[in-house]
Amino acid sequence: MASTSITFSPLQLRSTRHGQGHGAPQRKAAAVRLPAAARLRRVAASVSERPAVPPPVVASPPAPGPDPKPKLPLRKIPGDYGLPLVGPFKDRQDYFYNQGRDEFFKSRVQKYGSTVYRANLPPGPFISQNPRVVVLLDGKSFPVLFDVTKVEKRDLFTGTFMPSTDLTGGYRVLSYLDPSEPAHAKLKKLMFFLLKSRRDHVIPAFHASFTELFETLEADLAAKGKAGFSDPNDQAAFNFLARSLYGVNPADTKLGLDGPKLVGKWVVFQIGPILVLGLPKLVEDLVIHTFRLPASLVKEDYKRLYDFFHSSSGPVLDEAERMGISREEACHNLLFATCFNSFGGMKIFFPNMIKWIGRAGGKLHTDLAREIRSAVRDAGGKVTMAAMERMPLMKSAVYEALRIDPPVPQQYGKAKRDLVIESHDAAYEVKEGEMIFGYQPFATKDPRIFERAEEFVADRFVGEDGEALLRHVLWSNGPETESPTLGNKQCAGKDFVVLVSRLLLVELFLRYDSFEIEVGTSALGVSVTLTSLKRATF
């Protein structure tokens, strides 16, 4: 999730240790006989037709020059930060409780008549020293956050604060490194090596792990009449990542089935200051948003995860040593990339995608099932990369889910020099050292770029005109039309994330004709409950 994403974010540099939808829902359908599609389906043992990760490329950013004279009128950035302590505290209350995140941003767009303005962002006092940001909320201004000649990404992965390095073995891991730092290229290259060396294991491991998920959901439906998606998805995602990237089944190790629970607790200690956990407001604001939770409380949990990855990553750690990275630093980075970026991305994005596909209704389900089964049948019953390239509706549906509900909604950068940033309507001067913040769901639902921007349109990216819009899909800390390199902050696992998201829909519609859901909320996104699964009938 890139600087990148909780999903599969990039990892960043420096080996230095710190001291510090639409469509009506279908009627409930009873389970029926095994699908014909399931009988024809075999898992491809290789995805070598098209690598899941691009070859590592060292890209030297062009030398920065002065910004061209803006074509739009210069306008002073509206908004203010208020009094010290008081302004940040008030904005924090509005952001979390009085308005909520989306209304916080939307109300200020209306107030200032601008998609670019100044505000304080959480957590503020006393966790972040400087909560002041320039907010970007449109698809034209947002991409400046990807330009590493203009913005610095050092220690900005989680925003206006950085979690203690005690949570990552004392190291600043890749996601917190700027491409200008010497270790960034080494660590990102290591991630490329991991993905490339294990690419032939991705499709078989996904099939095995998510078959277990579907069997669990079917059993729960039979016993209770409904089945929660989140917990089985977490277990399947963790098992898949361990099997595909490291060749290990967690259940056969000392870690057992505890991985998702340990990761979830560890992640809260890192990003709790920017989450609403559902505790009583006064308790949550004081304990979670005002002071840091001590890393010592998850030390033993993290040690169990570290030991699992250290014992499972021998070949990758050997490669790290050849690249001049210590085994210890490499292991902490592998843990973070797998658990925070990749697992975190699947934990957040998979329920979101199921939500949108589920709400779209039976016609889309039927169209997806027909396209997917036909392409797999034409491939001799195998799920392959080549077969998935012949599924334009499926591919578009994945991109549309990434557009409308990106797994990492926020990006940050610090201006390296005085800049002029243009929205659709005006140009704004940003001074060197100022923090720039972009809220991606507004940028990727910009009505001046996308028609019916607030709707889930599954076939939006089908055809030549649809594919041209992919440059505005930004979930990976870069445009979908570009690729991660050693010199940028785009998610190292960008293509891996797209692949596994496609595989979820392929596995789902090879097995089922349709499904129905109920949707709730959770601290990290949505909570999905399945109320029916109709086994494949054609």
Show the 3-state SS of 359-383: HHCHHHHHHHHHHHHHHHHHCCCEE
Residues in Cβ contact with 422 at an 8 Å cutoff, skipping those fewer than 6 apart: 70, 71, 72, 140, 141, 428
The helix/strand/coil state of 504 is helix
Q: Is 339 assigned a ligand-binding role in the annotation?
A: no
List all residues 6 or more positions away from 99 whose beta carbon is below 8 Å from its beta carbon: 107
Determine the residue type at 303. K
Other Cβ atoms less than 10 A from the Cβ of 39: the count is 9
Q: What is the largest CA-CA distance in the chain?
A: 67
Residue 173 contacts residue 3 (beta carbons within 8 Å): no
SS3 42: strand
CA gap 181, 226 in Å, rounded: 50
Assigned token pair, 414: 């610090």
DSSP strand pairing (116-120 vs 132-136): antiparallel
Nearest to 53 by CA among 329, 314, 337, 249: 337
State how far the Cα of 528 lies from the Cα of 233, in Å rounded to an integer: 10
CA 229 centroid distance within chain: 18
- For the annotated binding site for heme, the residues are 491
- For the annotated binding site, the residues are 491
